[in-house]
Structure 1
Amino acid sequence: MKVTCLIPCFNERERISQVLDVIVGTNCIHQVICVDDGSEDGTAEFIQEYWPQVEIVRLSQNHGKTAAIAKGITYVRHDVLLMMDADLQGLQKDELEAALEAYTQYNSIDMIIMRRVNSPWFVKWYRSDVLLSGERILRTSDLQQVLKQKLKCYQLEVAINRYMLRHKKVVRWMPWSAINTYKVDKLGVIDGSRKEFKMYVDIVNYVGFSHMCLQLASFTKRLRYKSPPVHAEQRQLYSNTYFS
C-alpha cells in the first residue's frame, strides 16, 4: 500500500519538525505534502531546507485548514490518504505504523481515526478527542467527495464524519498518544478562546444540533489491533521504503 500524507500548516516552524521527523521515516508513506497556508514565520523555507523530499504547496495568504486541504489534495498521487496536523506533540512512530498496518489488514474499514487519548478530560467529555481529531487514514476518493461541499475552516472533520455516516462507511478509532497544540497556547488566552468558540459555532451550524448529537452518541468504535510478527525479510523490505 502506498500512502500520501497531507499536512496543512500555518506558522508552524517551531512545531512541525516533531511531525516530519516521524512521517518521513514511516513505512508505507511514499508521498508527503505540506500545504503552507500563508505562513509568515518561514515554515515553507524551513521544511524545504531540512526535508527536501517533502513536497511544498504554497498559498499566498491564509485561507484556513479546509481550503489548504482542498488545494493539497489536487497533488495527491496515491489512493490512501493520511491526514496529519502540523502542531502535534508526542507523536509515536509505532502507533502510526500500527494504524497504517491495520488499514491494510482490514479491507472492510473505510477510515481509521487516531483518537487523542491524552487530551484533557473536558475534551474527552464531548468526544472532541475522536470527532475532531485531525489524524485520519481514509481513501483519497472519499475526501474528494467531502470537499465538493462548501465548508468553512473548522468544519472539515465533522463533515467527514457526516459523510461516513450517511454513506454507511465503516469507521474505527485507534489510541493515539500525540496531542495537538491548543489555540490558547499559540494565540494567547483571549484570541485563542475566541478562535475555539468560533470553531464550535461553525461546527454546530454546519451539521445541525441533532446530527451533532448523533455523532456524540454513536459515531465510530474502537479497533483492537495487534500487529503481526515481522519476519527478517519483511523488516529488510520496510527499511527500503522510499518516496515515489
Structure 2
Amino acid sequence: MVMRNISAIVPAFNEEKTVAGVVNKLLSSHLISEVICVNDGSTDATAQILSAFGDKIKFLNFADNHGKGFALAQGILAASGDIVAFFDADIHNLSDRYINLLISPVRNDQNLTGALGVGCRYKSSLYFPWIVYLTGMRAYQKRKLIPYTDNMLDKRYGIEVYLNSLFDKNEIAIVPLFGLSCAAKYSKRALIQAIKEYWQTGFEVAKQKGEIELSQYINYKDLFNKLAPLADVDTVKIRIKDIATKDIKDLF
C-alpha cells in the first residue's frame, strides 16, 4: 500500500473545554501526518490553548469570526497532505479507532472522493435522515477540494450542504462512528440558526444546479416560525409534523 500523508484540520470557535483533548489525540496518532488548528475568532481561551502547542501544530489564528467554511478552506490551503480530514473540536472520546474508520475509505481507494463519519449526531439521524449529511467529521482527497476553496469562504453552518453538493453520493462513503461523543451544545439559537442556514444554503445550491425553483418553497418561513420557540431536536421532530407547507415537511 502506498503511504499517503493525512492532514487533520480542526476548526475551533469557543471550544476551550475540549479542543486540547482533540488535538492531543490527533498528535499522538500514527495515522496523522500533521495537525492544523484554525481558531475562528474565539472569545474564550481557545486561541491561548492552541498557541501553547507551539510548533507541534500548524496554528491559524483569526481575530474575527468568519464561519466554519472559511476556517476549513484556510486549513485545506495550509495542508501538505494528500488527504484532509476534518475533526470537530468538541469531541470527547476521539481515538485511533475512530480516526482509522474515518480515513480508511479515502486512504485505501484513491478513486473515492470522501468519507462522512456519523457518530455524534447518530441518534438525531434516526429522526432526520438528512442529518447524516451534515456531519462535521469528514475526510477528502485534497485535490478534489482545492478548486472549491474560494467558494467555501462565505459558508458558515451551510458548509456541509455546500460540500455535499459538489460530489455524487456514490463518490462518498458513509462511515458509522458508533460511540463517538461530542459536546451537547445545541442552544436554542444554535439549533434554529443551523436549520435556517441549512435551508438557505440548500436553496442556493439547488438553484445553481437547476434542480428546483425557489418559488415552490415560498412559504419556507413557516418552518422557521414554527421552530423558533423550540430548544431541542426531539421537540423540533414533533413540531415538524405540524408544518402546513407540504413541500417543506416532505423534505424532512
Scaled to the shorter chain, the TM-score interval is 0.7 to 0.9
Matches of 1:52 and 1:35 in 2, distance apart?
A: 14
Deviation at 1:100? Answer: 2.7
Q: Do structure 1's residue 159 and structure 2's residue 162 form an aligned pair?
A: yes
Deviation at 1:50? Answer: 4.7
Higher relative contact order (CA closer than 8 Å, sequence separation 6+): 1
5+ residue gaps, structure 1, are 218-244
Matches within 5 A, 1:187-198: 188-189=187-188, 191-198=189-196
Higher percent of residues as helix: 2
Deviation at 1:154? Answer: 1.7
Matches within 5 A, 1:110-125: 110-116=113-119, 119-121=122-124, 123-125=125-127
Paired AA for residue 114 in structure 1: G
Matches within 5 A, 1:34-45: 34-45=37-48
Where 1:149 maps in the other structure, the secondary structure is helix
Partner of 2:242: none
Q: Do structure 1's residue 174 and structure 2's residue 172 form an aligned pair?
A: no
Cα pair distance change 1:76/1:201, threshold 3 Å: same
Asked which structure has the greater CA Rg, the reply is 2
Partner of 1:47: 50
Deviation at 1:49? Answer: 2.1
Partner of 1:131: 133
Matches of 2:106 and 2:73 in 1, distance apart?
A: 23
Cα pair distance change 1:182/1:152, threshold 3 Å: farther
8 A contact 2:105–2:173 mirrored in 1: no
8 A contact 2:101–2:175 mirrored in 1: no
Matches of 1:131 and 1:197 in 2, distance apart?
A: 13
Matches of 2:196 and 2:143 in 1, distance apart?
A: 29
Q: Do structure 1's residue 200 and structure 2's residue 201 form an aligned pair?
A: no
5+ residue gaps, structure 2, are 213-246
Deviation at 1:134? Answer: 0.9
1:134-181, CA deviations, whole angstroms, 9 ceiling, x for partnerless residues?
11111112222232326421222122221112xx86211111132443
1:190-221, CA deviations, whole angstroms, 9 ceiling, x for partnerless residues?
x233323323333332333957x9xx99xxxx
Q: Do structure 1's residue 81 and structure 2's residue 84 form an aligned pair?
A: yes
TM-score for both structures, normalised by structure 1: 0.73
Deviation at 1:85? Answer: 1.2
8 A contact 2:162–2:202 mirrored in 1: no
Matches of 1:174 and 1:62 in 2, distance apart?
A: 30
Matches of 2:80 and 2:161 in 1, distance apart?
A: 25
Where 1:12 maps in the other structure, the secondary structure is coil
Identity of aligned residues (%): 22
Matches of 2:103 and 2:139 in 1, distance apart?
A: 8
Matches of 2:127 and 2:149 in 1, distance apart?
A: 28
1:4-50, CA deviations, whole angstroms, 9 ceiling, x for partnerless residues?
11111011111112312321112231111111001111212112325
